[in-house]
Structure 1
């Protein structure tokens, strides 16, 4: 999502300033713009390149870019559609091709627009299964023109309920089965684990902000309970076996005041405007009626997939902003570390460090580890170093004199707190991935088309192609994840090598791509990169040669990048996860058909009309449907190897 107006007008420095400020020290601007394709790994900040022993080979032949309405993969790979919008999660109502399912039926079916997900294996005889598990799938948002037979016309309470029930998370049970020569993944039906968590599911609030005045509403006088989760983008996984779903562009659901408050403006809530019409039939989403309801969204939510009767928990200790994901790792001393990006132009990178240590042998595992800890925001320096600045009440100017009454106030107003401490503005920080052996951290900066000034401090005005940064915690030599300092460099500057503007050619060694979004390391250390060029830009103008959105694989030791998959027209590729043996890769194809004149066109009847941009996955002229797919090698080997 890159269509929100800029809401950060703080004077904090932008990350691009440091790229140029480094120039006298390491000639970084010249190197970024003039590097040969064979020199993509950048050890110019004194960060040693990964040792040859850490190199992870890419074992497939790259495929070409594509504009076809198909999912394409290399030869010798098998594709399967597993779980599409409207499919029943267990025994339940089937999808109606005219979108005529009711709100109650939608609550028992896959939601819309699959995003982040994770495979949780069953364990047998002490070993994780690669053929049987639970799959948690986020459903980020809805398109009302697809969701209802007559689209957004004649808006009603029933349509509001259906839209709310198409958000949230699916938990499904899946199994790899073999019948004769037909080897396929399928949903286990019925399943006692299957459930849907929606924008109406009751959940608990914990951490410093729970119960405070700013979290109280007419429906929840105690400020410790909330109905639902929404805008569920990327995710995270805990070592105690739970799933973290992240609330991103929550502002689009709230109808603002004639004169929004500074806090509402800072979070993108617009005057008398909402992207959705829920507020017409659900007063929670009308700020004039419930001024505090918006404070109860924009959090990381923990779900226990193994206990279908458990209540999800919103963790306020991790801060309130437009969470793209929550990448969890463990520090050397056992403390939990969570990396998070705020997905909007000029927003920040965050890290949470728990107060206590994870003990795998302790009953309850990590029940309180995400409720008690310290939230930090990143400040990058021009010498290739950086600091994690604590967002802690009483420190770094976060006190009553500067508008922060207590720690709850700091967390509810995380963006303002980050503004106050001088965090570094970034170009839409999205997914974060941690190398499984080195602890090196990678973050995708998808793009920033809203920076127009060209000067020595901004070498890529209109950074429409994005880049990926990386850092090493502590002294840059180890994996001290809880450290408050780090060393950073650029892994890759995305671009089109054939572009006439040198600033837009990038320095990719291998297959060209733009707008990196999803990042995921497989156990062997290959970095998988999913792209998200918006529907307004894909296959147009500067993006014409990239083709549809795609999935690539990077060897981080050599910098080589190869294209593994191309998606159907107008889609985003997202949600990477795999079975423990690496032989089954799960990906999501989100919002197929999101192109100009496509998905946002008025709803079309099924009879006598073809949806114009995409008919994925059926390819028979019907409504495009987001879907989870499974990719396997024909010989049963490790995917990507």
Structure 2
């Protein structure tokens, strides 16, 4: 095939920027840094990094090598110990030789064995769905129950449910929207908390008093500068629910953080006189919403009838998996954006939480807690309520700065229309615009290397709008950026950055340094294991997956890869079924069990078609392969047949 310029997908709403600011793009910063480095190096760039194809009209930076950390035995051991799997277009899950899989909790599984059974024709009621595992699994974490070996055999698995496919959720699809359908869709969102245990060589759901569902209708609290009593949060009903739960995080004190991403999609109105405010427009709010049409049957989601309800979403939500009666708490000090995740680390006794705002042209944020988090907890204060929220600016010379989003500092004053800190947090995007943050190519998951505290962020792709966006214009494949905070102190306000890897297909972009063992596009999920392996999960849009016209025919279905961050080696570990995204990984403490989430198998794809009430299996029938069933998102257990450490 002759090389051609991939056509960027136009159907994914996340790829449409709502950022009207004049802030410089990351691509412009990369271009200037490249020019500076070329001058310093006599016109060359180190081969350890990557180059971007000239025909894409772009420039990039070489990744500097880092010192290889010592292994557990004191020496540097190879991190990757498996043979890579091949690209796949089949409707199956593929793992390396020597590994085995088990489907654990697909959509509709009762959260307790005694709960309502799954109906394969999707006829479960809203009330039943509220007692079952939700739809479209995303971020997750495993909280061990017990110490030592027991903690790797029993624990609480907490799983996000990002959104619903209403063609598969209802037996008759969504041509007609009813109150019952809205209630079921709301119940299929949120978070599942299930107790699982390993018995007789496999994992199963255990009967547990801790098991529960947090849905779009669960009572919630607000904490921090924006309280539930704030005028902007006063709506028709009590504060309730969490929606579009994408990625996640967890805290040193044992709680789970779920993140509300594309919350604007659930709200709309038929009122022809309604128009979005500038702040609503900045978040992509529109009368049509994301096509869910819940407002047709439930005024809670009607922008004209209940205008403040939407302000209750866009937050990081803290859940205690060990206290089933505790309300989820929306931690407003972390800002209101389309949170892709909330990765928490610790530095000098203080908590640091990183989050990406997943929309083309938006920003990367960091929250730094005030004082020692253990002291805060001892005083009865949440470490996530007290601290400073920052947004990132990437400078031309490879340095960067964290800009504080604090009322009264810089442009965020009363004279400039900012009432108080609550106002700054309710309008976080506008505050970041005002201070001059760097626009990015859809910043998604963030991971911190446990060995050296380097920080990595996936940038899934970018539209290539009027200003250059990251290394390529357009950037249909995405890349991963990394940075090192000053003195490796994650509370620092300055950092040095570089590019870790440029994703893509070298057949279309000869500068991409990937091959058949690791070619991938649209990196999304990101996680480190305790040994320092970097796990990369992909989210190639179903409008592009497997299509030569999009430059994705050689990449196949979405996949899970593993990287050695010190050598740059990357191997493909897993490929998913048709139409699916690989969304999250979690490990038991002994690293001998890997949990992987497979989201939206069988969703509408340009390559394979679209499901319908008459034929829900048009694209995929994974994982049940029931001739009368339908595809289901699921958590999959992966173990080694020899019982060893995953990936080693």
- TM-score (structure 2 length as normaliser): 0.91
Q: Verify the 8 A CA contact 1:299 1:319 in the aligned structure 2.
A: yes
Aligned to 2:455: 441
SS of the residue corresponding to residue 377 of structure 1 reads strand
CA shift for structure 1 position 148: 0.7
Which is worse superposed, 75-84 or 593-602?
A: 593-602
Q: Verify the 8 A CA contact 2:93 2:577 in the aligned structure 1.
A: yes
Cα pair distance change 1:186/1:451, threshold 3 Å: same
Q: Verify the 8 A CA contact 1:467 1:494 in the aligned structure 2.
A: yes
CA shift for structure 1 position 18: 1.1
Aligned to 2:233: 215
CA shift for structure 1 position 212: 1.9
Q: CA RMSD in A?
A: 2.6
Q: What is the rounded CA distance, in whole Å, between the counterparts of 1:19 and 1:28 in structure 2?
A: 14
Q: What is the rounded CA distance, in whole Å, between the counterparts of 1:31 and 1:425 in structure 2?
A: 30
- Count of equivalent residues: 616
| Match runs of 1:162-561 below 5 Å | 162-178=184-200, 183-188=201-206, 190-210=207-227, 211-220=229-238, 226-255=239-268, 258-332=274-348, 334-359=349-374, 363=378, 367-451=381-465, 460-474=472-486, 478-499=487-508, 501-502=509-510, 505-508=511-514, 511-541=518-548, 542-561=551-570
Q: What is the rounded CA distance, in whole Å, between the counterparts of 1:208 and 1:22 in structure 2?
A: 38
Matched, 1:614 2:620: yes
Deviations 1:70-125 (A, max 9, x none): 0000101010000000010002111101100000000000110000000000124x
SS of the residue corresponding to residue 129 of structure 1 reads helix
Q: Verify the 8 A CA contact 1:40 1:508 in the aligned structure 2.
A: no
Which is worse superposed, 620-629 or 592-601?
A: 592-601
- TM-score (structure 1 length as normaliser): 0.91
Cα pair distance change 1:554/1:40, threshold 3 Å: farther
SS of the residue corresponding to residue 517 of structure 1 reads strand
| Match runs of 1:140-179 below 5 Å | 140-178=162-200
Q: What is the rounded CA distance, in whole Å, between the counterparts of 2:43 and 2:329 in structure 1?
A: 43
CA shift for structure 1 position 264: 0.9
Q: Verify the 8 A CA contact 1:350 1:377 in the aligned structure 2.
A: yes
Q: What is the rounded CA distance, in whole Å, between the counterparts of 2:352 and 2:443 in structure 1?
A: 17
CA shift for structure 1 position 32: 13
CA shift for structure 1 position 604: 2.7
Deviations 1:564-599 (A, max 9, x none): 000001100011100000000000000002242699
CA shift for structure 1 position 271: 3.0
CA shift for structure 1 position 177: 0.4
Cα pair distance change 1:31/1:410, threshold 3 Å: farther
Q: What is the rounded CA distance, in whole Å, between the counterparts of 2:63 and 2:184 in structure 1?
A: 54
Which is worse superposed, 151-160 or 98-107?
A: 151-160
Cα pair distance change 1:601/1:212, threshold 3 Å: same
Deviations 1:281-306 (A, max 9, x none): 32221111111111110000000000
Report which of the two has the higher share of strand.
1
Q: What is the rounded CA distance, in whole Å, between the counterparts of 1:353 and 1:44 in structure 2?
A: 29
CA shift for structure 1 position 24: 2.6
Q: What is the rounded CA distance, in whole Å, between the counterparts of 2:568 and 2:250 in structure 1?
A: 27
Which is worse superposed, 134-143 or 211-220?
A: 211-220
SS of the residue corresponding to residue 295 of structure 1 reads helix
Q: What is the rounded CA distance, in whole Å, between the counterparts of 1:330 and 1:112 in structure 2?
A: 32
Cα pair distance change 1:250/1:58, threshold 3 Å: same
Cα pair distance change 1:576/1:33, threshold 3 Å: farther
Query: Which ranges in structure 1 are unaligned for 5 or more consecutive residues?
Result: 221-225
Cα pair distance change 1:154/1:470, threshold 3 Å: same
Q: Verify the 8 A CA contact 1:588 1:628 in the aligned structure 2.
A: yes
CA shift for structure 1 position 276: 1.4
Q: Verify the 8 A CA contact 1:194 1:308 in the aligned structure 2.
A: yes
Aligned to 2:91: 69
Query: Which ranges in structure 2 are unaligned for 5 or more consecutive residues?
Result: 1-10, 53-59
